[in-house]
Structure 1
Amino acid sequence: MNTASTQRFEVRFLSLFREGRALAFPCDPSGLVDLDALTERARSNYLFARAMVGREYAMPTLYAS
């Protein structure tokens, strides 16, 4: 049985132009990403993806596993 405490969440930014390409980042159940927990490269990619929503990436989607 999956509960909120055992589920893992991630926010995904799907590419608008390259099918199957996306950037994904761990987050909490509400979709908040802990920037301090990301590596420098991941933080840079996350900020880039957020800035490029509507240009390169679709609106982020929350996924649970």
Structure 2
Amino acid sequence: MDICIETTPSAQQRYELRFQSLFNQGRAMVFPCNEHGQVDLDALSERARENYFYARAVIGFEYATPAVTPDYSH
């Protein structure tokens, strides 16, 4: 028996780009992204955009290299 599941936009997997703190395991900066880790900067608020650029600038100093992870918050 074949089962066919139709994928709708609401059923599509969402992802997040996670910058984990190198010094505090409970601290991270997280941004919505696609499965390739690309963040839609136009969709971010000004503050989130500033945080995103900051996290990218301090990779290796304050935050680890970001990882793309599934977003289970929805």
TM-score over 0.5 (shorter chain): yes
Corresponding residue to 1:22 among 20, 23, 28: 28
TM-score norm. by structure 2 comes to 0.79
Which residue in the other structure is 1:56 paired with?
A: 62
Corresponding residue to 2:40 among 18, 26, 34: 34
CA distance in 1, matches of 2:49, 2:63: 16
CA distance in 2, matches of 1:45, 1:15: 13
Aligned residues: 63
TM-score norm. by structure 1 comes to 0.90
Q: Output the amino acid matched with 1:17.
A: F
Q: CA deviation at 1:33?
A: 0.3
Mapped pair 1:7 → 2:16: no
Identity %: 57
Structure 1: state its 5+ residue gaps: none
Q: CA deviation at 1:64?
A: 1.2
Q: Which runs of 4+ in 1 moved over 6 A?
A: none
Q: CA RMSD in A?
A: 1.5
- For the residue of structure 1 that corresponds to 2:47, the secondary structure is helix
